[in-house]
Amino acid sequence: MSSMYADAPLVTTAMAARETGVVPNTIRKWVQLQHLSPAGRSGRAHLFRLEDVFAAERATRRAHEIGPDGNAAEFPVRS
């Protein structure tokens, strides 16, 4: 771990979700998909660095905005 992050405050899943504007299940999904790794635990609860949470949010948003071919993703329109 870099000394730059040694004193970074840790937040719970609920706090991480609130800061990024998503529901807690989204944070859990990011962990499951390995977009985000917990930095610690408090009992059974995962704790995260906000920097890591924001990085996972940016990476997830980019992945949804850019398709697999590197172009803007197109979504089908139902009529």
Q: In this structure, is residue 77 part of a structural domain? A: no
- Dist CA 21 CA 31 (whole Å): 16
Does residue 71 fall inside a structural domain? no
pLDDT digits (tens, 9 = 90+) for 36-68: 999 999 999 999 999 999 999 998 887 776 666
In a domain, 75, yes or no: no
73 within some domain? no
Query: Which residue is listed with tokens 């990085």?
Result: 55
DSSP assignment letter at 3:
G
Nearest-angstrom CA–CA distance, 24 and 6: 25
More confident residue, 5 or 57: 57
Domain for residue 22, yes or no?
yes
Mean pLDDT, the chain, as a whole number? Answer: 83
